[in-house]
Structure 1
C-alpha cells in the first residue's frame, strides 16, 4: 500500500469512528471538502501542513495517519448518508 493510500485509509477510519462527515472535518481543519475526499481516496498528495491540520481536528498525531493498516484489514465503512435526527 502506498503512503497516500495509507493516509487516506487512516483518515477515513478515524473520521468515521468519530462520526464526522467529510464536510465537518474539512470545515474544522479549514480546508476544502473535496480535498478531504481526494486525500481519503489516495489521489491527493497531501501537504504536511494539511496533514497536521486534519490530525489536530481528529485528536491524533500526524504520525498516526502514517501507520500502515494490518494485513487483511477491511476498508472503513462510510457514514450513513443523510442528516442525523434532531435530539431534544
Structure 2
C-alpha cells in the first residue's frame, strides 16, 4: 500500500486542498483522496506534488511494509 505525507506537508505550507490541486492540475477531491490513501497518484502527479513541497518523491510517498499495514 502506498503511504504519504501530503496532508501534513500541505498543512505545514498552509495550502488548502484546492490550492494544492490547482498547483498540480487536479481537483480538490483528488487531493483529498490521495491524503486518505483512497487514490494512488501517477508517477507524474507524485513528482508534481513532491516538487511543490520541494522534497524528493520518497519523502512524500513510500510503500508501506507488511508489518506497518497490519498495525
- TM interval, short-chain normalised: 0.7 to 0.9
Larger radius of gyration: 1
**Higher percent of residues as strand:** 2
1:18 corresponds in structure 2 to 13
TM, length-normalised to structure 2: 0.78
Matched, 1:61 2:56: yes
Report the Cα offset of residue 46 of structure 1: 1.3
TM, length-normalised to structure 1: 0.65
* Structure 1 unaligned spans of 5+: 69-88
Listed as ranges, the matches of 1:1-88 within 5 Å are 2-3=1-2, 6-7=3-4, 10-67=5-62
Report the Cα distance in structure 2 between the residues aligned to 1:37 and 1:19, rounded to whole angstroms: 15
Which consecutive aligned stretches of 4+ in structure 1 deviate over 3 angstroms post-superposition? none
Deviations, residues 34-56 of structure 1 (Å, cap 9, x unaligned) = 11000001000211111001111
Q: What's the RMSD between the two structures over aligned residues?
A: 1.5
Size of the aligned set, in residue pairs, is 63
